[in-house]
């Protein structure tokens, strides 16, 4: 990019000695060189993930600088892991992360679509259309698409159709039977947490993922409550209890530590005994404090002194130690307890309540499940023989529950397999002429960009992208009633009704990918637009030959 700038400035000065005209010329070339450069970055980035799109997309193996590796088919994982610094590329990655956050799926689609929108924008700009006209046209097209998707969508007509919407999001990431299993778990968990209050992150806050080695991924299961791979400190305390009061300590129940080089002068047996007595008193004070607050369940991040174990038992308190911070936070949310730095600082209103605590052996490992009074939590126990398999299974479950949970709030669905985008492209082509002026061209450019989705799905399935897109469009047009639900089955290559095959995407995933991609493309165009600002948008003002990019 630095190179382009330098060239443009030199050229500007040489060609046109008049100062202001030279500057104007420079600005224009800089603007276009910047756009070319930004589009190149976007296209390169999209190229990196495009081959993962769809059920027959390829997996990518990501290798870290320390040699550790990760195999994934997940676009956003690829992008977030890659170390990319180009500002436009960062913007695309941000768009894909935001898609992940809002919709939990459709991340690859968003990036691929953004790059295609930019590429088409560049072509229009080269043919003399001002970027602000492209931006206008794209905005009009986006609005029309969102409206059109709303009217194309419908609610699932059966539980099995709902399951198809969730399992489509897993297609190609994991095997079919595991996909069905995870789909069932995700829908069950989503139903439970949909009754809770909370924002978009509820399915992350209320559903814990616990990886347990061994077994196969299809042994993964869902259990109610927060499950932690730990048992109580003292096996002679009760292994379950229905309801009670819980204190959470970000610290321990331990003896005050002696400084390493502190010297205790032992002149007589009495000194040592006195010291021991004081530490015992200190521990007993802490236990009595817990007892006075009605605590029967103590959870600490650090350790519990051996001497305190019997004191706790006598006080009827069951204790757990060495909890991870995340688990402490989850229990805190479920029970309404505050996490306090030391038992001495604990006040009555820091103590929360739980509904149930029980210990079971799940997947061959002892676990404790805790259910809070402030709402339910679920834990999905992810099984698998290797850490990579478990990670991929967890990511697949993340997608499934993300989609399943959002479907409890808006269950409308659309045909997958490129059908929705093909429908939109067809619709925009009839809609474009109704618009004024050059925006029409931008709307058509937008329509063509949408077809990158069926095109990539076909390409990744080893089919001819051009023929498939044409045939798909023709099949849709041949049936005015339900044609728009015809998409490409990437497994067989047939063009068929996607609702009949259960290849279905949630409306919120498709709409968000369209608005996210449009916004990202427009913000890249705007960067360049600043440099174009001086020009009249209606004057075509440069010729193809002026390009500097190669
Ligand atoms: P993203 O990260 O965008 O979700 P995916 O790799 O998950 O990317 O691919 C999603 C796309 O794959 C959607 O457009 C969906 O409709 C499509 N798809 C899923 N299953 C099939 C199938 N069996 N045939 C064709 N397309 C499918
Ligand atoms: Mg997906």
Q: Residue 28 has what pLDDT? A: 52
72: which strand partners? 60
Separation between Cα atoms, residue 281 and residue 287, nearest integer Å: 10
Strand, helix or coil at 305?
Answer: coil
The answer to whether position 513 is within a domain reads: yes
- Please tell me the distance between residue 171's alpha carbon and the centre of ligand 1 in angstroms: 7
Atom of ligand 1 lying closest to residue 416 CA: 16
Q: Is 435 exposed, middle or buried (0-12, 13-18, 19+ CB in 10 A)?
A: middle
The answer to whether position 390 is within a domain reads: no
**Tokens, residue 416:** 């997958």
Query: Which member of 26, 27, 72, 74 is catalytic?
Result: 74
What would the pLDDT profile of 232-270 be if each residue is shown by its tens digit?
999 999 999 999 999 999 999 987 665 555 566 666 677
Q: Is the pTM of this model over 0.95?
A: no
Same domain, residue pair 364 and 419: no
- Please tell me the distance between residue 361's alpha carbon and the centre of ligand 2 in angstroms: 34
pLDDT at residue 304 greater than cutoff 80? yes
Same domain, residue pair 358 and 231: yes
Domain boundary among 319, 346, 374: 374
| Number of Cβ within a 10 Å radius of residue 277 | 11
- Please tell me the distance between residue 107's alpha carbon and the centre of ligand 2 in angstroms: 7
Same domain, residue pair 235 and 366: yes
CATH number at residue 259: 3.50.7.10
* Residue of 503, 508, 514 to test ligand 1 pocket, by largest number of atoms within 8 Å of CB: 503
Cβ–ligand 1 distance for 31 under 6 Å, the answer no
- Please tell me the distance between residue 505's alpha carbon and the centre of ligand 1 in angstroms: 8
Same domain, residue pair 456 and 355: no
The answer to whether position 469 is within a domain reads: yes
Same domain, residue pair 267 and 337: yes
Tally of domains in the chain: 2
Helices (H), ranges, 51-158: 75-81, 87-103, 107-126, 131-152
Same domain, residue pair 476 and 426: yes
Ligand at shortest distance from the CA of 49: 1
Q: Which of 512, 520, 515 has its CA nearest to residue 105?
A: 512
Q: Residue 82 has what pLDDT? A: 66
The answer to whether position 71 is within a domain reads: yes
Same domain, residue pair 418 and 330: no
The 8-class DSSP code of residue 59 comes to P
CATH number at residue 529: 1.10.560.10
pLDDT at residue 93 greater than cutoff 60? yes
Separation between Cα atoms, residue 192 and residue 104, nearest integer Å: 19
What would the pLDDT profile of 471-494 be if each residue is shown by its tens digit?
999 999 999 999 999 999 999 999
pLDDT at residue 369 greater than cutoff 60? yes
Same domain, residue pair 361 and 418: no
| Percent residues over pLDDT 70 in the chain | 82
What would the pLDDT profile of 395-437 be if each residue is shown by its tens digit?
899 989 999 999 999 999 999 999 999 999 999 999 999 998 8
The answer to whether position 110 is within a domain reads: yes
The backbone torsions φ and ψ at residue 22, rounded to the nearest 5 degrees and listed phi first, read -60, -40
Same domain, residue pair 240 and 361: yes
Residue pair 152/413 in contact (Cβ under 8 Å)? The answer is: no
Domain boundary among 310, 345, 374: 374
The answer to whether position 245 is within a domain reads: yes
Separation between Cα atoms, residue 368 and residue 364, nearest integer Å: 13
Q: Residue 213 has what pLDDT? A: 86
The answer to whether position 300 is within a domain reads: yes
Same domain, residue pair 337 and 263: yes
Domain that holds residue 461: 30-154+414-533
The answer to whether position 486 is within a domain reads: yes
Same domain, residue pair 447 and 528: yes
Least confident interval from 28-32, 326-330, 359-363, 388-392: 28-32
Same domain, residue pair 241 and 141: no
Query: Which member of 88, 107, 183, 368 is catalytic?
Result: 107
């Amino acid at each position: 990019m630095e190179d382009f700038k330098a060239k443009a400035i030199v050229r500007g000065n040489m060609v046109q000695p008049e100062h202001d005209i030279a500057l104007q010329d420079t600005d224009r070339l800089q603007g276009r060189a910047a756009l070319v450069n930004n589009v190149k970055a976007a296209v390169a980035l999209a190229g990196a993930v495009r081959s993962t799109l769809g059920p027959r997309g390829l997996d990518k193996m990501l290798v870290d600088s320390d040699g550790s590796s990760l195999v994934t088919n997940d676009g956003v994982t690829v992008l977030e892991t890659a170390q990319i610094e180009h500002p436009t590329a960062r913007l695309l990655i941000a768009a894909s992360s935001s898609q992940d956050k809002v919709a939990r799926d459709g991340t690859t689609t968003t990036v691929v679509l953004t790059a295609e929108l930019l590429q088409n924008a560049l072509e229009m700009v080269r043919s003399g259309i001002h970027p602000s006209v492209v931006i206008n046209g794209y905005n009009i097209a986006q609005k029309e698409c969102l409206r059109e998707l709303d009217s194309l969508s419908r609610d699932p007509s059966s539980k099995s159709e709902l399951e198809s919407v969730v399992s489509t999001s897993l297609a190609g990431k994991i095997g079919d039977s595991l996909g069905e299993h995870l789909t069932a778990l995700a829908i069950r968990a989503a139903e439970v947490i949909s009754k809770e209050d909370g924002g978009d992150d509820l399915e992350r806050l209320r559903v814990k993922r616990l990886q347990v080695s061994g077994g196969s991924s299809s042994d993964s299961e869902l259990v109610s409550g927060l499950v932690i791979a730990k048992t109580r400190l003292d096996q002679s305390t009760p292994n379950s209890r229905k309801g009670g009061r819980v204190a959470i300590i970000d610290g321990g129940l331990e003896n005050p530590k002696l400084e390493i080089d502190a010297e205790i002068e032992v002149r007589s047996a009495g000194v040592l005994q006195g010291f021991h007595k004081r530490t015992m008193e200190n521990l007993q004070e802490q236990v009595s404090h817990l007892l006075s607050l009605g605590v029967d369940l103590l959870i600490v991040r650090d350790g519990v002194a051996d001497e305190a174990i019997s004191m706790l038992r006598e006080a009827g308190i069951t204790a757990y130690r060495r909890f991870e911070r995340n688990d402490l936070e989850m229990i805190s949310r479920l029970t309404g307890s505050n996490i306090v730095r030391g038992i001495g600082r604990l006040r009555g209103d820091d103590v929360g309540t739980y509904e149930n605590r029980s210990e079971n052996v799940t997947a061959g490992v002892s676990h404790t499940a805790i259910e809070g009074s402030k709402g339910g939590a679920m834990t999905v126990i992810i099984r698998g023989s290797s850490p990579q398999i478990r990670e991929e299974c967890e990511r697949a479950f993340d997608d499934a529950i993300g989609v399943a949970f959002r479907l409890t709030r808006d269950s409308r669905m659309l045909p997958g397999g490129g059908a929705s985008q093909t429908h939109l492209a067809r619709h925009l082509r009839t809609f474009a002429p109704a618009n004024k002026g050059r925006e029409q061209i931008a709307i058509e450019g937008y329509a063509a960009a949408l077809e990158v989705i069926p095109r990539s799905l076909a390409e990744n399935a080893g089919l001819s992208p051009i023929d498939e897109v044409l045939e798909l469009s023709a099949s849709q047009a041949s049936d005015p009633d339900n044609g728009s639900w015809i998409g490409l089955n990437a497994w067989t290559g047939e063009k068929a009704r996607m609702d009949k095959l259960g290849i279905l995407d949630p409306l919120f995933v498709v709409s968000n990918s369209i608005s996210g991609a449009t916004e990202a493309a427009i913000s890249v165009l705007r960067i360049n637009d600043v440099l174009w600002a001086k020009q009249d948008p209606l004057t075509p003002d440069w010729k193809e030959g002026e390009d500097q990019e190669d």
